[in-house]
Structure formats: C-alpha cells, structure tokens
Amino acid sequence: MTQKTRGAIAAGHDKTAEAGREMFRLGGNAFDAAVAAILASFVTEPGLTSAAGGGFLLAHTQTNHNILFDFFSQTPRQKRPEDEINFYPVDVNFGGAIQEFHIGLGSMAVPGNMAGVFHVHQRLGSLPFHVIAEPAIHYAKHGVKLNRFQYYCLTSVLTPILMANQNGQNVFILTGKPIEPNGTIIMSAFADTLAYLAKKGVREFYQGDIAHQLVNDCQEFGGYLTLEDLKHYRVIERQPLTVNYRGNTLFTNPPPSSGGTLIAWALKLLSTVDLANLGFGSARHLEILAQVMQLTNAARQTRLNNYLYQEHIGEQFLADDSIAQYQQDLAETVNKWGSTTHISVIDEVGNAASVTTSNGEGSGYVIPGTGIMVNNMLGEEDLNPQGFHQWQKNVRISSMMSPSIVLQPNQAEVVLGSGGSNRIRTAILQVISNILDFNMTVEQAVNSPRTHGENGRFHVEPGLTEAEVLHPLLTNQQVVRWREKNLFFGGVHTVMKTSDNLLVGAGDNRRDGAVAKL
C-alpha cells in the first residue's frame, strides 16, 4: 500500500465495506463512503441495524472541523396507559451470558437513521444520493451471502425477535433450507423502499405513506408513536466531547449519551498509570482494568445517570475535582453484550467518519410493505435506567454508542467505535489503550483478548493467561472466563493513519469485520 491510497474503511461485513470502497472508486469522500456503508449495512447486517433504528456519526473534516451528528432515537411526545401497550420480554442468548430485552410496538422510539444519512450527505457528501444508495439497493434486490456472524445473529441470537410475527418472518428471503452460513439473504421490499426514498427524499419516510402506516399500527395495536413524533424529528449537530490522553486528543460522543463520557472518564483514570511498563495481559494490567471499570460504573450510577440532560454535565463529570477521589482509589489499587454495528472511514485528504448505528434488537414489528423492522430502544434496560415507561417525553435517548476519533495533532490518527450495548465503552477503551499505551498495530489492538467488568463480574476472554491469578486480587468481583472470543465483547472496526502516512484498518474478528481500501 502507498500514500496514494484514496481511503480505507472498516465495517462489520465485507459487502458493507465494499459499498464504501465503491464511493472512493467513483471519486467520493469519506462521508460518501460512510453513508453508502450505513445504507448497505441495513441489508448486510440486518440483525444489528435498520433504516428505522438510530445512530451517531462523528466527522472530522480536512479543514479541521469536528461535528457529532446525533440521529439517535427520540422518545415519543405523549404516553398512553401501560395496559394498552404492546410490550413484552425476550431473552437474548450470547452463548456465555443471557440478556433480557423487551420488544413489541410499545418498545419503539422515533427512528433516526434515515434522517441521519440524508442529513450527513447533504452537509458533507459530494456524490449524488441515488449513486450512494445504489450498492444497498443492489444488495437488497439481488442478495448477499450470510457470513458466519450474521448467520449466528439471525438464526440463534435474535430468532425470538425476528420471528415474533408474520411480517418479521417476511422481511428476509433466505435461500437454502435449512439456512446455511453461506446462504443468500434477499430483501426485495426494502430494495423498492430505498429506491423510492432515494428518488423522493427523506420526507416520505417521516410524513408520507410509510409514516402513516407506522403510526396507524401503533395507535391500533399498542405503540406510542404519532405523526407529530415523526414530523418533528430532527438530526442534532453537537460539539464532540474532548479529552486529552497521553498527548493525543480524543473526540467522542457527548451527553446526553453516556458512552463517550464514560470512556473519557476511564481514560482520565488510566492516564495516571504507566501501563506500558506493566505489560499487556499481565495480572497487574488486568487488575487495573477491572478496577477502572468498577470505578467508572460507580461514578455513572452516582454522578451521571440522573444528570444527563443538565447543561455542561460532561465538563462537570470530567472535572479534576470530580475525578480526584476515584483516581486516589485507583492509585491504591496500583500500589498494592448488544445489537449494534460500527463503520470507520478515512480518506487521503484527511476526512474521517466514525459512525455507529443500531436497531436495538428490533421490536419484532415491520412496517408493512417496506421490509423495515423498527427499533426497540424503549425496551433496552441500559437505555432506560429509570425503568421502562418512565422515560421523559420528547428527548433524545441516551446511548452507549461512542463513535470516536483520536487526533495527533490535528489529523485523524485512529477512527473507531463499537457495537455491543453496555460493553461498547470498555471495548473502545481497551483498543485505544492498546494502540496508545502498548504501541500495538491496529490488527493487534482490535483482535487482542478483552475484558469487561460490571455488576460484580469481571468477564475475561481466552488468551489472557494471567487472568487465573485475578481470583485472589479481585476480592469483590467474580472472574468469569469465556471459552472463546464472543460478540459480547463488542466489535471495534477501526481504521488509522500510521506514522508514515499509510492508511490501515482492522475488522473485529468477533463479528466477522472486514476492511476495504482503494
């Protein structure tokens, strides 16, 4: 590879990445590639994301502007009696852990992904939208092969949701019975829908026949959404949250989303420790990670969850006097799972896009005739810390999604993010640390074993041999050893520019991630 590489993209499926590379071939920029890849992911990764989901795109432009595009889901403008709501639990089995989610029409929040792709394209794209949408339309019409991870999602993890009703069963035409990992998935209804939207514009999704069908079903069968919810939805442009870490500047997702703030918090804790001299995967390294995760969880509960919609909460939470006691707690130590997908893009002129989108696990409801399953953001416990149906009306839902970019000094050096529900922040934290603290290559940083600490348990992937000695060290946490790498630990698809200006990337092998370059 040479400096003449036009761009690099890392994503959760090789066809997602290929859609982005096609935009580079046509002369497009990183944002064209990102939007094409998002649209493609609705077909290639349908168990993780959807046109009726939500997400965030963090942009760094060649003119050194940094913008966080928030097109995540919004809570409805009105409530209705809970006994009228179609809302019920399902268990999602990650293989080593079971997580409960809630689905049904009452789990659906206002979708933002379609508004997001149109908005980002209008602001930063260079190619016509119909050109950018063409790969996704082609995939949906003619089919794409299921890779191992998507096969696992559709036939094992998400089966109780995808098969919740007849419309859900009709979203996909899966060739081959029984379904095989290399079978083909066709979404002909979605191909027609996307072609229609590319021609008519995003207004048709939020105010046209699609919107009316969605709202009519909600009102008749137990959902919250109204025409006013859809009509008034807007993409929000935010100033990214900024934190310095070992001479590098990290830009990430600000409040009211919490994931980026918690990553920044954890990095401030880690900055007091010379990790490089401890050695990656050593017992001391793992003990420190466990303690940082535990302290971050504690701070989240007491100092962040109830204050996410307060002005300047990010700065207050990360202030030196706020974090000092936690740093002292860490110093004393030193001295002694989620349905989401991520795309990272960088181009030759310095544009970078880090974008994470999700459909939750899907609500089980499909807008008739569109091939689009709507999100279940009101049914995810981690997104509803005050309890189900207790959400504040008409606000942007707080998310763990944390698209991030590391700059050094003013050029995008590392572009990354992850899927994985409440494991997103710990997965991103570890990849950043692997690159900046342990000087790993991007491939090593992404695919090295990970940990995750929460609720008194410290989960450890295989390959960290010294984890055995953690049992006596972590007296207040149970060490859970996994037999193999798992999507539970996220999917940190990453691209970066090396010190000699080469564009490189790595797809997370936990989720069959892929890289494409041109």
Catalytic residues: 340
- Those residues whose C-beta lies under 8 Å from the C-beta of residue 71, and which sit 6 or more positions away, are 54, 55, 56, 57, 112, 113, 115, 116, 119, 235, 236
DSSP 3-state assignment of 88? strand
* Residue pointed to by tokens 């046109």: 51
Smallest Cα–Cα separation from 292: which of 329, 255, 337? Answer: 329
C-alpha 439/C-alpha 503 separation (Å) is 16
Rg (CA), the chain: 21
Token couple for 205: 């999704």
Q: Which of 235, 49, 65, 46 is nearest to 147 (CA)?
A: 46
Task: Report the distance separating Cα 275 and Cα 262, nearest Å.
Answer: 19
Choose among 373, 51, 80: nearest CA to 220: 80
Cα–Cα distance measured from residue 305 to residue 282, given in angstroms and rounded to the nearest whole number: 33
Q: Would you tell me the crossing angle of helices 259-270 and 320-335 to the nearest 10 degrees?
A: 50
For the chain, the 3-state helix, strand and coil shares in percent, each to the nearest 5, are: 40, 20, 35
- Residue 311: CB partners within 8 Å, gap ≥ 6? none
Three-class SS of 89-120: EEEEECCCCEEEEEECHHHCCECCHHHHHHHH
- Decide if 126 contacts 26 (C-beta within 8 A): no
Sequence-separated (6 or more) residues with CB below 8 Å from residue 8: 345, 346, 495, 503, 504, 505, 515, 516, 517
Contacts of 144 (CB under 8 A, 6+ apart): 13, 15, 43, 44, 184, 185
Contact partners, residue 151, CB within 8 Å, separation at least 6: 179, 180, 181, 183
Q: Are strands 457-460 and 478-481 parallel, antiparallel or unpaired?
A: parallel
Instruction: Report CA torsion sign: 268, 508, 352, 375.
Output: negative
Q: Shortest CA distance to 339 belongs to which of 103, 119, 168, 181?
A: 103
Q: Give SS3 for 50.
A: coil
